[in-house]
Amino acid sequence: MGNMLNVSSNPHIRSSESTTKIMLYVIIALLPTTCFGVYNFGLHALLVVLTTVATTVLTELIYELLMKKKVTIGDLSAAVTGLLLALNLPPQTPLWVAVMGGVFAILVVKMLFGGLGQNFMNPALGARCFLLISFTSIMTNFECDAYTGATPLAALKAGESVNVMDMIIGRTAGTIGETSMLAIVLGACILILLGVIDLRVPGSYIVSFVIFIVLFSGKGLDPQYISAQLAGGGLMLGAFFMATDYVTRPITKKGQYVYGIFLGIMTGIFRLFGPSAEGVSYAIIIGNLLVPLIEKFTTPKPFGKGGERA
């Protein structure tokens, strides 16, 4: 009888949370904006989504089989990366470009650095920036059947007027998953209610970004301009789904505020003073690189350390 009992170190109970569940929640939360993107841009957008997801999952599987490592595609993190990458691609992206992005995200950014939890930058954003540099014309061509003009942010930068209502709903040109502020915020609410993310990073990101453009855009407190800046481009998708990526954001609470504020300022600088109308991806990637430093300076003081014995 004695040998039949399991012995382990305490604690002997575990919460029902799991990595797979968290990833599944993220996928569910991304569905509104994914569906809207497909509805908005048509069938090819769906093909891009399916291609990147299949590519990221297969890349991880093949890499792990070749390296004789434990297969971890069941944790769904590769699928999340694939989905996020697709949402950051223009709707008419050729499928071979989507495949290249997927392979780069998983192989170069994630697996070569040690797999889940070890990558120092967001794989989907890393891949997007890689594609943006390598295939600039393809990645900045947002023309498709539904929309022929510039993206609202580009129009805004050129001084043209934009329809803010369309931007909030998402009836504009842009990448597959970034156009609808409404769908993204709906997804974000799901994540917040499920306890997957909190408002520390997205909140400080968005607030500091707004303060920055109010101070430096020259437009002051123009509500039309501010809401266009908020609804346009990848800010919402970036703030709620990319900047909150566990692996590449600071783990300390204070650090998360610092990180969010940094992202807000960087995005503002890129958008207002950079050559391009957009800057969310680069801002987040640069932020990712600063995470170790931020964590180092924001390590919390342990309980009772203040009241040290004299």
Which of these ranges, 5-13, 100-108, 147-155, 219-227, lies near another protein under the rule CB under 8 A? 5-13
Which of these ranges, 28-36, 70-78, 148-156, 262-270, lies near another protein under the rule CB under 8 A? 70-78
Tell me which of 247, 265, 272, 286 binds another protein, using CB under 8 A: 247
Shortest gap between Cβ of 16 and another protein (angstroms)?
A: 9
Closest CA to 53 of 91, 24, 86: 86
Shortest gap between Cβ of 196 and another protein (angstroms)?
A: 9
Looking at the Cβ atoms of 223 and 306, the one nearer to another protein is: 306
Chain centre to alpha carbon of residue 194: 18
Tell me which of 62, 65, 118, 161 binds another protein, using CB under 8 A: 118
Show the tokens assigned to 112: 């070569």
Closest CA to 241 of 90, 98, 128: 128
306 near another protein, judged by CB under 8 A? yes
Looking at the Cβ atoms of 161 and 299, the one nearer to another protein is: 299
Tell me which of 99, 246, 274, 276 binds another protein, using CB under 8 A: 246
What is the rounded CA–CA span in Å between residue 78 and residue 60? Answer: 7
68 near another protein, judged by CB under 8 A? no
Tell me which of 2, 218, 223, 275 binds another protein, using CB under 8 A: 2
Chain centre to alpha carbon of residue 105: 13
Rg (CA), the chain: 21
Contact criterion met (CB below 8 Å) for 180 and 234: no
Looking at the Cβ atoms of 22 and 284, the one nearer to another protein is: 22
Tell me which of 96, 159, 275, 303 binds another protein, using CB under 8 A: 303
Opening angle at CA 68, ends 67 and 69, nearest 5: 90
What is the rounded CA–CA span in Å between residue 143 and residue 67? Answer: 41
Interacting residues of 177 by C-beta distance below 8 A, sequence separation 6+: 30, 33, 34, 37, 84, 86, 87, 88, 184, 237
- x/- track of binding to another protein for residues 10-29 (CB under 8 A): xxxxxx-xxx-xx-------
Shortest gap between Cβ of 168 and another protein (angstroms)?
A: 31
Looking at the Cβ atoms of 28 and 169, the one nearer to another protein is: 28
Interacting residues of 169 by C-beta distance below 8 A, sequence separation 6+: 180, 181, 182
Residues that bind another protein (CB under 8 A): 1-15, 17-19, 21-22, 72, 75, 77, 115-118, 246-247, 249, 251-253, 299-309
